[in-house]
Every structure is written in structure tokens, then in C-alpha cells.
Amino acid sequence: MSFDGLMLTAVKKKLEELLLGSRVYKVYQPEKKTIVLNFGKEKSKIYSLLISAEADAARIHLIKSKIPNPSQPPPFCMSLRKHLESKQLKEINQPKWERILVFHFRGLSEGGLPEEKLLICEIMGKHSNIILLNSDNTIIDAAVKYSHAVSSHREVLPGKPYITPPDQGKINPESLSEEKFYQLMFEADINDKLPDIILKKIMGLSPQTCREIVIRAGLTAETTLNECGEYELNRIWQQMNKIFHDVKTGNLKPTLVHDFSDSKYTSFAPFDLKQHPESHKSFFKTLNEALEIFYESKKYRQKFKELENRLLKITRREIKRCENKIGELELELKEAEDAEKYKTAGEIITANIFRISKGDKILRAQNFFDPEGKEIEITLDPQLSPSQNAQKYFKKYRKAQVKKQKITEQLDITRQELKYFESVMASIEQAEKLEELEEIMEELSRQKYIPPSPAQQDRKKTTPEFLTFRSSDGFDILVGKNNRQNDYLTFKVAKDDDLWLHTKEIPGAHVIIKRNDNREIPPQTIAEAAILAAFYSRGKNSANVPVDYTYKKYVRKPKGARPGMVIYESHKTISVTPDPEKIKHLQKA
């Protein structure tokens, strides 16, 4: 849900309670269209007000968390500091039920004279903006500046008069009587859905709020005007007025709606959303707390998705490069393997040297390397002696053998590199936290596949986290989800007598069964650990996934091997089918 006029009214009421009469201590601009104003009547009690004009996250609310700021403040931030710092917030206005808040500041100018500044916050999706004005409504600066080349309605440029966004032609609910409401509704097409009619006709309401009004009236969001009479419209009128009244009087029940499929918040409201089941809702003491959690969660998901897509792009590119290189090397190897014909030619020339004279261009002789003894035709260089012709073929053979060895070595290196990137791909697919993706990014940086970012260089080294499960027999089972975690588990956490598991020839997690009490590990625990190894691998959607297991003392990392790459011996294999339900039962509390 986006901010609607009703939400902004609820926010405004709380801001008036906490901020009126306080001064601006500091202004920050953490993002291109986001500012943070620090307010306080006393420095010991500071409120941080976030105002964002970002298209997909436009909003206004108080925050408790600290947001990183750029080392160099942007020009708009410098303008705000110059005109707003030390000034007192005297008033907050909301024109009608528009998605606009106007903050009135008063204080002294640089010359010591009283002055007033206005900060206009337009929370309108992709058309959102933050605009600083003089008291005569002329624009000083704005987060987003544009001329008539962009908008025929108005220009947002320094020195230009401020013009409000275009009127949408909706009715102010405060000037709406019950009779006028009925009239507005009956003017609509009888086949229109009730939420759509309310949205088109009345100010301050989002699609979600319009659905909520209709549902609270005992109807469905699909109900059309044709299905309604005065009784149904009266119930809608009553519910709409109740919502407006609750918001204006501060009778709120801040609500976040979440989707259990991936535990993400999908919408918010200052009141209980009856259109969603109770199990999908979380309630909060304050609206500001709910909004901060919602947008932090949204930003976290966005950062996760952006980093995931970037890593997938890098990994797919490298996998494609390795596959292409392997194809080329295999062709070269086939050509090099044909070099045996050079040795054969040299041997046959040597055996028939008495039949050859300098100047001969072709030798036809029996091929004694052929089981059937067929005749072979060998091209000779007439400028060379018979012996020199033989040596020429032997030299070609030796060069081909060296080339074959180099190709074979390069082919092995490239296949190992492909295996490594397939393991990286498995780690990306298994990642559930942003921190796990950041570990993968750091790993690729250390492996010189991407340059390190300043954030990576500044980041403190932390101990890798991993998943912990408990088997039905009471054994701890540890699971790594990326190469850093895998190496840490196998070579730092696991002891020699712990059991180590990994899917056979399938990229995936290193899994450790701990033997802290030196008990023998029963078959049931091994099977459960194998299910975890299969689930946290690229074979998670397959049946009968082979999983190797051995004692950790038989696992080692070859010198120079990439992260997560190991070799092992003395292993056994078990086949299992990943079962998410069984894994839930193994999750350690």
C-alpha cells in the first residue's frame, strides 16, 4: 500500500504531538530523495523525522534507527541546513485530505531578522517531491527539480512560485453529507465495483482503504453498484465515517500484513485491516514503529534481490565462460590426440628410409601399426633428406605431446573452476539472508573475479554463521550454506571423529554430525543428515539424491583449492529424497 491522505493525517497528528515547538538540530540526506531532520526541545530528547520522495517508498514518519549518510552532503542537504537548522517548527498543515504535508518553520535569518520557511512534502508515488519555500511561496530548492519540458502543469525550479499538484477532482470527505454521498455513488456506472467508485469520488483514500470500507460494511470487494440499495450504501457511509473519525481522533491500531509464504510484509494501515485474516497481521503500539519496520523490511528485501541478481549474473557469466572454454579445449585436445599419426609417419619413414631419395614427395608403404597392414601414403618434403623428413614428423609429434599435456592441465583447471562456480550458484540459490549473499560477494572479490567495493573493504571480519539442527537421536547436525561457511565448518568446527556429508558430485552444503559424547552415530541420524545435505544442494528438487559420508579426518583441501573445494576418501554413499517436512522437525530450537 502507498501512503494515502488518511495515512498522512494519522502521521500528522502524532508529529504535531511530538515535534511542534521543537527546533531542527541537524539535517541529513542519506539518499538522493530522502532526508532526515533531527528535532528536539532539549538535546537529550531528539526525534528523527524521515521524509522520502523515492518513487517506491515515498513516506513520512519518525525513525529510531540510524541511517548511513554520504561523506559529502548533497547540495539539497546543504540548502536545507542553511535555511532550516536552528529554526522552530510552528505548524504542520495538510491541505484538505491531500497527500501533502506543509511544515512551517520560524527563526532568525543570517542577518538576525525574523523569517519563515516552508517545507512541502508531496507523498505521491512517482510524483513525490520535497520542496523548500520562502514565506512568499517562492521555491528555494527541491529534491527533484524540473521545468515545463517535463511538466506542463508547473515548474519546480529555484525562484519559481510554488504551484500545488493538479487537483484530481475528488470530493473532500469533510464537506460530504450522507445525501451527497448517495448521489455521488448513484452517478457511477451500475456495473462498477464499490471500492472503485469510492476511490474515484472521494479524497484521501487508497484502493486498500476503499476495499476495507466495503468489507467492514458486510459486502465483498467484488460487489457492484447494481447489487446495492440505500441500506448497503448507508452501511458503507457509516464505516467510511468511522474510519475517518478514528484517524482524526487518534484512535489507531497500527497494522502490518505479512505473507507467510516468504514472511514479508505486504501492506500497512493505521487501523485494523479486517480484509486480512488475523494470522496474517501484526499489531504495533505506534504508527511510526510499524512504518519503520515495514520500510526497513522492504529495503532489506530490495537490497537482497539486487545483490542476488548481481551475483547470479556474475556466476552465470562465469559458468558460460568456463563451459565455452572447456568446449574449445576439448576440440584442441582431440586435435592433439591425432598427433599419434606424426609418430607413425616418422616410424614408417625410418623403416623405409632405404626406399626414399631426396626430392621424393610421397612415400607409399605398408602401415605396420595397422592390424590389417593397409598401405599408408605419407607426404614428404622434397627439400629434405629421408632422415630429415623422419625427424620433422618426430618433432611435430613431440610438440603435439607437449601441447596435449598443457591442454589437459588447462582442461582440468577449467573443469575445477566450473565446479567451483556451480557451488557458488548453489550457495546463491540457498541464501535466505542478505549477510549470506554479502559473504559470497566477498568470496568472489577475494578470488579476483570482481573488484572489492569500499563497503567490503571497510566491513569487519565476522565468524561465519551456519544452520544447526538436532537429529531424532539427539545429535547436533551443522549445515553450511555457502563456501565460507562450508570451509569454516569442516576445518574449524568439525573434529576428526565427526561425520562429514556432502551430495555426490552435486554442488551443495558441507554437513557435520557432531559426536560430542563419543557415541556411535546411528543410521537414523545419518539418514536425517543426508536429507539435510540433499535439501541444501542443487539436488533439492530431485528424488534419490546420492550423499557421500565419511569421517572428517578423511576430508582435506588440496593446496591452492578454491573456497569450499575439498577431496575425501574412505566414504560410503546413501540415497535420500529431500523432505521439507522432515527438515522442520529437525530444526533446533
| Structure confidence at residue 459 (pLDDT) | 57
Grid coordinates belonging to 462: 565476522
Of 277, 213, 214, nearest to 242 by C-alpha is 213
pLDDT tens, position by position, 101-132: 999 999 998 888 999 999 999 999 999 999 99
Asked if residues 397 and 348 have their Cβ atoms less than 8 Å apart, the reply is: no
pLDDT, position 270: 95
Listed range (167-171, 198-202, 585-589) with the worst mean pLDDT: 585-589
d(CA 112, CA 108): 5
pLDDT of residue 227: 94
Asked if residue 455 has pLDDT above 80, the reply is: no
- Domain segments of the chain as ranges: 5-142, 335-408, 464-586
Per residue in 169-195, pLDDT (tens digit) is: 899 998 899 999 999 999 999 999 999
CATH architecture of 5-142: Roll (2.30)
Checking if the pLDDT of 45 tops 90, the result is no
Beta bridge partners of 575: 546
Given a cut of 90, whether residue 366 has pLDDT beyond it is no
- 458 pLDDT tier (thresholds 50, 70, 90): low
Could you tell me which residues are beta bridge partners of residue 38? 26, 48
Coil/strand/helix, residue 57 = coil
Give CA–CA dist 62/55, Å, rounded: 19
Query: Which residue in the block uniquely carries the three cell numbers 491522505?
Result: 5
pLDDT exceeds cutoff 60 at 444: yes
What is the SS3 assignment for 285?
A: coil
Largest CA distance in the chain: 121
Q: What is the Cα–Cα distance from 429 to 312, expressed in whole angstroms?
A: 9
- Using an 8 Å Cβ cutoff, are 90 and 83 in contact? no
- Residue 589 reports pLDDT greater than 50: no
Quick check: 263 pLDDT over 70? Answer: no
Whether the CB-CB separation of 184 and 218 falls below 8 Å is answered with: no
Q: How many whole angstroms separate alpha carbon 21 and alpha carbon 90?
A: 6
Residue 82 confidence class, pLDDT cut points 50, 70, 90: very high
Grid coordinates representing 123 are 507523498
Would you call 462 helix, strand, or coil by DSSP? coil
Say how far apart CA 228 and CA 209 lie, in whole Å: 19
Mean pLDDT within 33-62: 91
Q: Is the pLDDT of residue 262 over 60?
A: no
pLDDT digits (tens, 9 = 90+) for 382-437: 999 999 999 998 998 888 888 888 999 999 999 999 999 999 999 999 998 999 99
Determine how β-strand 362-366 pairs with β-strand 281-283: unpaired
Alpha helices in 379-462 (DSSP H): 386-430, 434-446, 454-458
Check the CA dihedral 353-358-364-369 and report its sign: positive
Q: What is the residue-averaged pLDDT of the chain?
A: 92
User: What's the predicted TM-score (pTM) here?
Assistant: 0.80
Compute the distance between CA of residue 548 and CA of residue 575 in angstroms, rounded to an integer. Answer: 9
Cell reading at 534:
540433499
Q: Mean pLDDT lowest for which of 447-456, 470-479, 559-568?
A: 447-456
- Res 162 pLDDT > 50: yes
Residues facing residue 48 across a β-bridge: 38, 63
